[in-house]
Amino acid sequence: MIFLENEHLIAGFNTKGAELQKLELKSTGLDYLWKGDPAYWGKFSPVLFPIVGALKNDSYIFENKTYSLSRHGFARDKEFEVSRPADNEIIFTLRNSAETLVVYPFTFELALHYKLEDSGLTCTYKVNNPGEKELLFSLGGHPAFAVPFTPDTCYEDHYLLFDRDEDLFFNKIEHNLISDEQGVLTLKGSKLPLNHELFKDDALVFKSLKSEKIRLANNKNIHGLEFRFSQFPFFGIWATPGADFVCLEPWCGVADGIHHNQQLRDKEGIQTLSPGVKWERSWHVSLF
């Protein structure tokens, strides 16, 4: 574990996957991140790269050749290089290797830049194309926040407060792929009460969410967080049924649809980066 600390927060990271694994508010001693219990789900906040979600048949086609990639890609399982540009910042970097080129034939540089700002943390994903050909990729976040935060509350005491009072149209998941079937959740006063039944059929995948920030709070005390994600066109909300967490997932890309032709260039949400061009997106979480 590598730690960042300021007056308000302590954040801890693992070089494997550049994964945020601790986010403590010092004034209360509360750690707002899920504990990574492998009995339910052993991750904390993985980066999804170079794909988000699953591929149809766990494979894709690029330039008439078929490649295999497991769900969410390989970055979350790789060791990243570390640099510290300032006391309140840390950068983790991953580059292509002989191993990655076997499953993903692109030259890339991926960096996760974490920065503490007052009682909040900003995570910026940076992708650089140092090669001579186009770089095709998807990228997403997957932070899991503890629910409940405190022992005096239960899962059902918590809710998500959206900044727009909208109907939440979501695409349902079928065998890890995006199905043609849609569902809808109707908010009451912009609130979505949390319960484990919400995720009995996998994640809720939103392709047309109007909200750009979500507050995770509860009915029993003042503790919670605000999550801002305006730079991401897709969003997922997920938890393992029965586990004490909820994932708020900003995505640039989604899983394959059930009718997808498996061509990487035709993948929904695919990002295309020309040689020498840099790309970045950020999300921010504030604790209270």
- Identity at 32, one-letter amino acid code: Y
Q: What confidence tens digit (pLDDT) does each residue in 210-259 have?
A: 999 999 999 999 999 999 999 999 999 999 999 999 999 999 999 999 99
Dihedral, CA of residue 214, residue 218, residue 222 and residue 225, to nearest 10: -30
Q: What confidence tens digit (pLDDT) does each residue in 67-76 have?
A: 999 999 999 9
Q: Which of 22, 34, 11, 9 is nearest to 149 (CA)?
A: 34
Q: What confidence tens digit (pLDDT) does each residue in 70-119 have?
A: 999 999 999 999 999 999 999 999 999 999 999 999 999 999 999 999 99
Q: What confidence tens digit (pLDDT) does each residue in 132-143 have?
A: 999 999 999 999
pLDDT of residue 159: 98
Q: Which of 219, 222, 225 is nearest to 245 (CA)?
A: 225
pLDDT of residue 103: 98
Q: In the chain, what percentage of residues exceed pLDDT 70? A: 100
Structure tokens at 154: 């239960």
Residue 44: CA count within 13 A, CB half-sphere: 20
Composition of the chain by helix, strand, coil, percent to 5: 10, 50, 45
- What domains can be seen in the chain, in order of their start residue? 2-287 (2.70.98.10)
Q: What confidence tens digit (pLDDT) does each residue in 126-167 have?
A: 999 999 999 999 999 999 999 998 999 999 999 999 999 999
User: For residue 33, what is the DSSP state?
Assistant: B
Q: How far apart are CA 264 and CA 285, in angstroms?
A: 32
pLDDT of residue 255: 98
